[in-house]
Structure 1
Amino acid sequence: MRRVSLHLYFPMCMALLLTACVTSPMPEEMRRRAEQNRWELTHWGDRSVPYGDDGEPVILSFKDGRVSGHAGCNRYSAAIVFGPRRGELKVSPGITTRMACEPRHMEFETSFIRAFEASTRYRLDGESLSFESDMAPPLEFYRRPLD
């Protein structure tokens, strides 16, 4: 039996632990997990994400093949499909209410919706759910329990 040097053992264990936390569950499991929670946008590249006095947070909920919630200024709803393969998704063009907000909030909302609808991949990392595309930095959401 070959022995692994202690200076190699620790980095190997850490790498295994880190990769074990980042997953792309099978589509049906991802749909189930998404529907069990609400998701709040917490990070998006170098953009300032609305929260508190800086505006209403972006909150999404999933149910029966649809995503809906608050997009920063208006209510938002679209069809969403996790799959057909692990880590893939399709977001259809959505609809929003038409309330007016501050111009910077409207600009953020428009950019957010465009980036979210361009998402083609999902990734689950513990309490964080990311939506990724080729056109924008990942949209990172944090799990919030349902009310």
Structure 2
Amino acid sequence: MPAFLLSRLALLCGATCLTPLLWAAPASAPSTNTPLRDTRWALQTIDGTPAAVSSKRGKVQLSLRAASQHLSGFAGCNTLQGRYIQRGTSLALKPLATTRMACEPELMQQEARFLQTLASIDSYRIEGRQLSLLQGDVVKLTFLASPTR
């Protein structure tokens, strides 16, 4: 509030009227967090264990589209798709459909863990460019925002 308005307000209502204005919390700065939706998220960890960075077919990644409430991605061997419901920081991933291609045994095992863990997610948090998917208070999966192509 400009200083001349504050001085006029002080004259009108006395110093006690100004106290709430002077002690009000400053407006919060715009968030620098990457948005959950319409961002491509590259998998970093599963239950705290680093994920395989990529397979011959690409990186394990997930994308939640705002307009359609659909999600899509790549689980390491197979593509995935489904629906999600997001309210505040609550997140429910609806039954996911995947293709059924086989690949290296290690990646198949990681993919199975990834899909099973996705089904148990109930909330999320974003700090900067990192997305954490949680079950209760426990971080189950972490992702980094990756550039879109």
Give the partner amino acid of 1:130: S
State the Cα RMSD in Å.
Answer: 2.7
Q: Distance in 2 between matches of 1:96 and 1:88?
A: 24
What's the counterpart of residue 124 of structure 1? 126
Distance in 2 of aligned mates of 1:52 and 1:115: 18
Residue 15 of structure 1 corresponds to none
For the Cα contact (< 8 Å) 1:42–1:142, is it kept in 2? yes
Q: TM-score, normalised by structure 1?
A: 0.69
Q: Do 1:87 and 1:122's aligned partners in 2 also have CA atoms closer than 8 Å?
A: yes
What one-letter code is carried by the residue in structure 1 that aligns with 2:72? S
1:72 aligns with 2:73: no
- Measured in 1, the distance between the counterparts of 2:125 and 2:137 equals 17
Contact 1:50/1:56 (CA < 8 Å) preserved in 2?
no
Question: Could you say what secondary structure the match of 2:85 adopts?
Answer: strand
How far off its partner does 1:144 sit?
1.3
Counterpart mapping for 1:3-42 below 5 A: 33-42=35-44
* Greater helix proportion: 1
**Unaligned stretches of 5+ residues in structure 2:** 1-30
Bigger radius of gyration, 1 or 2?
Answer: 2
Partner of 2:102: 100
| Alpha-carbon distance between aligned partners in 1 of 2:47 and 2:124, rounded to the nearest angstrom | 16
Gapped runs of 5+ residues in structure 1? 1-20, 24-29
Larger strand proportion of the pair: 2
Q: What is the CA distance between 1:22 and its match in structure 2? A: 9.9
Which residue of the partner structure matches residue 114 of structure 2? 112
Name the structure 1 match of 2:51. 49
Counterpart contact for 1:115–1:136, Cα < 8 Å: no
Deviation string 1:62-81 (CA, Å, 9 cap, x unpaired) is: 21111101101100111111
% identical equivalent positions: 28
Partner of 1:5: none
**Counterparts of 1:54 and 1:48, CA distance in 2:** 18
Contact 1:121/1:132, CA 8 A, preserved across alignment: yes
Determine the C-alpha separation between the residues in 2 that align with 1:123 and 1:97: 28
Q: CA deviation at 1:46?
A: 3.9
